[in-house]
Amino acid sequence: MIAGPLLLLIVPLVMAGVVYILLRWASLSALLSVGTALALGIAVVTLPLDQPVPVYFWGERQIVMGEAVTFLGRELVLGQADRVAMAFLFLTAAGLFFLAWRVAPRSLIFPMGLGLLSLLSGALLIRPLVYSALLVEIAAALSVFALQAEGQPATRGGIRYLTFTTLALPGVLVTHWLLERYVLTPDETGLLNMAAVLLAISFALLLGIVPFHTWVPAVAGDSVPLAGTFVLTVGNGAVWFLLLDFLETYPWLSTHPHFGSLFSTAGLAMVVVGGLLAPAQRRLGPLMGYGALVDSGGALIALGMHSRLGLTLVLLSLVVRPFGLALMATGLSGLRARNGDDDSFDALRGLGWKAPWSTAALIFGGLSVAGLPVSAGFIWRWPLCRALAPSSPGLALLLLLAGGGVMTGVWRGLSALLVRSRPPEGDRFPRVTSEGWLTAAVVAVVILGCVGIGLLPQVLAPLAAHLAETYTFFAP
């Protein structure tokens, strides 16, 4: 009998080693990474939690996904909510590996990404939750290797991400001790308040909430773009699910009198800072980071609504965020590769004509991150604005304006990319791009996916609503 949680921990870790050895064969290592993440993602979704499933190619062995397993004296449990979280992590990673196959071949994102998947799975499955913080911290340290581009100066994004994650660690660990002490002395309610404050600070650091947001644009701007996206989607997604696990495990957190105002204020600060700074950027990388900041801010505002609808929107935002950021990162990678790793607007002038697919990826990704129509990001941002409008019209307006701010930044980038430079003699513009048909096909598939979700929100929305039902802390 093989316990599912153990499978989710060990398989990616083993494959990380294999992929690292095979890294020189770009397509093989990339496709192995995609295959591993995809297979595990599908297995998590499709295999039943409570029934053994025979493994035909492995003797008489059977897999039980829901079986709890003890690892280093701690329990690993795959619950219903964790199941979807796991599927999100693995499938998002598979998508990012698929894009990295074309735009970042032979990069450390493949082995490190698989290693991170193992650690982040452990973080979501391990009980008590205190160990999650340690695993997230180890994952952050490992991600620095993926964020650092070969032959480039040391990434400021990596070191900042590591710094903020390390600073978040003590709060979560001490919270666990405070809560254990509270069980022994229930009269000391001050312990709960202290635990709530420490948790709030720790998650503010982990999620990049203003004023602890400086790592977000740094990760997006000063590292391998798809590795940065991995951190901002898979890593950040794991932190979000961890936050939801905390809210589920300790219901007094969600009933705290300042819960709604705290999340709304934090989200508003992110939306305002991101919305103001995004159009002022002169480089595409930090622009993507500020776009991600606005996106996270919107999700925090949704959680601050303190309702099942808000939770559904949070989960929907997590599911669709990778589309926008991954597309932007793909475009950014393509443009940087053709421009000596310089992504400033001045340096990119006219490059859009030479790299049309990268430009298209950037634009459609930008649309989604800004939450504009005909993009995946629109399907949760618009319902959020509509839900906020009756009670907090100012908040809804600011959210819309912040989306406009991000789009203004993207528009400025597009204007620079599409400047018509002086044509070479004989030919106005190069008719053949250097991007290759395979890269074009991969980008086209993801763009179609992003637009398709934007046009058909009914595909993902029920899934998010169903997932929201697995959490009971906002139940009436």
Partner 1 sequence: MPTLIDLLTRLSFLAAMPAVAGILITAGLLVVSRGWRLNVIALTLQYFFVVLLLTRLIQPEVAIVKGLIGWMICIVFYLTERRASALGQSSAVEGTGPSQRWRRWIMSARASFCLLAGILVLVAAYTAALRIPLPEVSTDVTLACYLLAGLGLLLVGLSEAPMQVGLGLLTFLSGFDLFYAALEPSLAVAGLLGAVSFLIALATAQLRVAQVTAGGEGKTL
Binding site for partner 1 (CB under 8 A): 72-74, 130-131, 134-135, 137-138, 141-142, 144-145, 148, 151-159, 162-163, 166-167, 169-170, 173-174, 176-177, 222-223
Spatial CA neighbour of 172 closest among 266, 242, 86, 254: 242
Sheet with 53-54: strands ordered across: 2-3, 62-64, 53-54
Supply the minimum distance, in Å, between the C-beta of residue 211 and partner 1: 13
Between residues 286 and 298, which has the closer beta carbon with respect to partner 1? Answer: 286
Shortest Å, Cβ 73 to partner 1: 6
> 196 vs 379, which CB is nearer to partner 1?
196
For 264, the enclosing helix (H) or strand (E) is helix 259-277
Cβ-count burial 167-179 (b if 16+ within 10 Å, e if not): ebbebbbbbbebb
What residues contact 177, with CB distance under 8 A and at least 6 apart? none
Beta carbon of residue 274, minimum distance to partner 1 (angstroms, whole number): 21
Comparing CB distances to partner 1, the nearer of 21 and 154 is 154
Question: Distance between CA 472 and CA 476 in Å, rounded?
Answer: 9
Closer by beta carbon to partner 1, 204 or else 372: 204
**Residue 286 Cβ vs partner 1, minimum distance, rounded to whole Å:** 11
DSSP states of 360-412: HHHHHHHHHHHT-SSSTTHHHHHHHHHHHTTT-HHHHHHHHHHHHHHHHHHHH
CB of 77 to partner 1, least distance (A): 17
Nearer to partner 1, 171 or 457 (CB): 171
Q: Of 60 and 150, which has the nearer Cβ to partner 1?
A: 150
Task: State the DSSP code for 64.
Answer: E
Question: How far, in Å, CA of 312 to CA of 316, rounded?
Answer: 6
Cα 167 from chain centroid?
A: 20
Please, are residues 217 and 153 in contact by the beta-carbon 8 Å criterion? Answer: no
- What's the min distance (Å) between Cβ of 182 and partner 1? 13
The residues near 153 (Cβ < 8 Å, ≥ 6 apart) are: none
In the complex with partner 1, which residue's Cβ is closer, 20 or 145? Answer: 145
- Measured distance CA(212)–CA(335) in Å, rounded: 29
Residue (of 250, 231, 254) closest to 311 by Cα position: 254
**In this complex, which beta carbon is closest to partner 1, that of residue 286 or of residue 454?**
286
Q: How far is the CB of 137 from partner 1 (least distance, A)?
A: 5
Nearest distance from C-beta of residue 152 to partner 1, angstroms = 6
- Least distance between partner 1 and beta carbon 288 (Å): 15
Which of 73/476 has CB closer to partner 1?
73
Q: How far apart are CA 463 and CA 468, in angstroms?
A: 9
Which residue's CB is nearer to partner 1, number 151 or number 186?
151
| Of 258, 469, 226, 221, the residue nearest 361 (C-alpha) | 226
Question: Closest distance between partner 1 and the C-beta of residue 336, in Å?
Answer: 12
Tokens 């991969």, located at residue: 442
- For 79, the 3-state DSSP assignment is coil
